[in-house]
Amino acid sequence: MESKHNEKDLKRNSFTAVEELAWFAGVATCVKLLLIPSYRSTDFEVHRNWLALTFSRPLAQWYSDETSPWTLDYPPLFAYFERFLSVFANLVDPKIVDLHDGMNYSADSVVYFQRISVIVSDLCLFYGVYRLTRSLDSIKRRLVWVLIIWSPALIIVDHMHFQYNGFLLGFLLISLSFLEEGRDLLGGFFFAVLLCFKHLFAVAAPVYFVYLLRHYCRGGLVRGFVRLLAMGSVVGFVFMVSFGPFLYHGQIHQVLGRMFPFGRGLCHAYWAPNFWVFYIILDKVLAFWLAELGFKIQAPTASFTGGLVGDSSPFSVLPQVTPLVTFVLVLITISPCLVKAWKKPQPGMITRCVAYAYTCGFLFGWHVHEKASLHFVVPLAIVAMHSLEDVRHYFLLSIGTSSKPTLSLSLSL
């Protein structure tokens, strides 16, 4: 009798939490609706072009078409997602999906459609937040919802700038929620789906690999091998569904070439305030200083940032930085986390480890955009509920990622 009452109370509390989450999501949605006519970057045209490209061209040409300079450079699952949206875009306004005449099209129809598509896709984020916080007490749960659902960084850096990272972060949170519950197979599945949507989340792949190998594939040689085979089959299935059609058409090399355009330069045009900014500044200062002292050194004048593929400027004094150098640095900096995941693969630590890995990727990665800060700020909101020290870390890392976009917004307005 008592167990039935406890079950009813649990269901009632769960329903209340869903109602509260709906209220938080509703407030965030109202804010986003009010911001529909606000500033937007070139990424708005990028995604409009991807709608037109996937709608107008056969699949075999998606990663080779160069009608627009904003070529498709996300993994295939995101291309399928754009193709799905293009069906509705064509019903709203056929010019949205016109590959030639629709270039730089900015009518109200396309603005409202693309903005609302981001708002609707954020249902994935809300579900991920709910899954990852449903075991917390009500006060901590609401605090996390404030930090994530009402995040100024998510609204300004992502939605106004125009991206679908809220939708993608939802998959990350869903994956982490399954891992924290000990349901590793589903956690690995959703992370594989995430990678096939946006490969920049692969920075945390070493953490996932080590953790799943030690936590899921344990229990003896035979059982471990069977579980390794099961996990490999699940992940392989996701990648085959995503990349298989392009492999069939012999386009896989073009897909990979677009996904990893290393010619874009060390820093992004919307630069991330990471280690390489100081490295570039130091090189420029040293070059000018040595030139003033009479050394035959040409002072650098070109930019080290860019959004399109092209040759990045060489350093004048300091050693050249290549993608391999950044990869090795990221791997070295996340190695303490990998060691910890190997020695003590605890479900309660996986969110912290993933956030740490994304922080390392942000600091030392190649061509990092400022919106990559969301990759660690959002998971850290969950970690911040564990202790006062974690709150300090969250505040330190999140305040810097919100100040720059907020300043940019005020200047643009």
CA distances from 37 to 201, 351, 404 (A): 30, 36, 21
Residue 312: exposed, middle, or buried by beta-carbon count in 10 A (0-12, 13-18, 19+)?
A: buried
Strand partners, 268: 306
Residue 325: exposed, middle, or buried by beta-carbon count in 10 A (0-12, 13-18, 19+)?
A: middle
Q: Are 133 and 382 in contact (CB under 8 A)?
A: yes
Structure token digits, residue 190: 């959703």
Distance separating alpha carbons of residues 382 and 354, to the nearest angstrom: 12
Instruction: Examine the pLDDT at 388 and tell me if it is beyond 60.
Output: yes
Residue 256: which of 10, 22, 63 has the closest Cα? 63
pLDDT interval class at 304 (50, 70, 90): low
SS3 100: coil
Distance of CA 119 to the CA centre of its chain: 16
Instruction: Examine the pLDDT at 287 and tell me if it is beyond 70.
Output: yes
pLDDT interval class at 131 (50, 70, 90): very high
pLDDT interval class at 102 (50, 70, 90): confident
Instruction: Examine the pLDDT at 187 and tell me if it is beyond 60.
Output: yes
Distance separating alpha carbons of residues 205 and 217, to the nearest angstrom: 16
Q: What is the pLDDT of residue 270?
A: 60
Q: Are 103 and 110 in contact (CB under 8 A)?
A: no
DSSP 319: P
pLDDT interval class at 3 (50, 70, 90): low
Q: Are 268 and 307 in contact (CB under 8 A)?
A: yes
Instruction: Examine the pLDDT at 183 and tell me if it is beyond 70.
Output: yes
pLDDT interval class at 409 (50, 70, 90): very low
